[in-house]
Amino acid sequence: MGEGVDDGVGDGKARRMPRAVRERQMLDAAVVTFGRRGYRAASMDEIAELAGVSKPLVYLYLNSKEDLFTACIRREAQALVTAVRSGVDPDLTADGQLWSGLRAFFTHTAEHPDAWSVLHHQARTHGEPFAREVSQMREEIVAFVTALIHEAAQEAHGATELAERDVAGLAQALVGAAESLAGWANASDSVTAKEAAATLMNFAWAGLGNLMRGERWSPRHQPAH
C-alpha cells in the first residue's frame, strides 16, 4: 500500500510517463482516497502522494478537487454499469437475467470496494454537483431492473397488470436491498458474491411472483393474537 500504484520505480522523482497513464494512476489513487476518507476529508496532498506524483501535476491534469471527484464518480459509475450489463445475457428469462446481473453486481462491488464506497456513500453525501452524477447511474440501474420486472410479468401468462408506481417501488426496494447486501458481504468477507445474489433472489423472486399473480399482502390479514 506504500507507493499506491506500482510504477515499477523505487521512489524518487516520478518517472516520465504518457499523460493517459498518469491520469489513470491519479484516478486510481483518488478513488482509494475518496472512498476511504470521504470527499472533504481526502486531501489533494494525500491523493498526489498515493499516485506518486506532485500535487501540481494532479491539478494540471484534473483541474480541481471537484473535477477530480467527478471524474472518479463518472469512471466508476461507468465501470459498474458496464460490469453489470456485460454479466447479463439478454436471451435468458427475466429471472435468469436478474440472477446473473446480481452476481455481476456483487462481484464488482466486492472487487472494487473503494469504488463502491465512492459511488454508494461518498458521492451521495456531498451536495449537488456529485449527487446528480451518481443519481443518473442509479436511475439507469433502476430502469434496467424495472424493465426486467415488466419482462417477468409478460413471461408469466395471465399476470395481473402492475401499477407503475408499484413497479417503481419494487425496483427501488430491490436495488436498495442489493446495495445493503453489498455492504454486508463486503464487511464479512466470508460471504461470497454468489451467496449474496442467492439470498436476494430468494428474498425477491417469490415476492415478485406473488405480486404478478395479484396476491398482495394487506394489513387486513392481521388476526388478533
Partner DNA sequence: GATGAATGAGGCTTCATTCAT
Partner DNA sequence: GATGAATGAAGCCTCATTCAT
> Of 64, 154, 180, 202, which lies in the binding site for DNA, with binding defined by CB under 7 A?
64
Residue 15 interacts with DNA (CB under 7 A): yes or no: yes
Considering CB distances under 5 to 8 angstroms, the limit depending on partner class, which of its own copies, DNA, none binds residue 14? DNA
What CA–CA distance (Å, rounded) separates 14 from 7? 9
Q: Which three cell numbers stand for residue 148?
A: 426486467
What CA–CA distance (Å, rounded) separates 132 from 70? 10
Q: Provide the binding-site residues for its own copies, judged by CB under 8 A.
A: 37-41, 91-93, 95-96, 99, 121-122, 124-127, 165-166, 168-170, 172-181, 183-184, 191, 195-196, 198-211, 215-217, 219, 221-225
Residues 6+ apart with CB under 8 A from 149: 94, 162, 167, 170, 171, 208
Amino acid found at 113: P
Q: Give the helix ranges, DSSP H, for the chain.
A: 19-37, 44-51, 55-62, 65-86, 94-111, 113-117, 127-155, 164-187, 193-212
Least distance between its own copies and beta carbon 114 (Å): 13
Considering CB distances under 5 to 8 angstroms, the limit depending on partner class, which of its own copies, DNA, none binds residue 166? its own copies
Least distance between DNA and beta carbon 1 (Å): 19
Q: How many residues bind DNA (CB under 7 A)?
A: 24
Q: Which residues bind DNA (CB under 7 A)?
A: 13-19, 22, 40, 42-45, 53-57, 59-60, 63-66
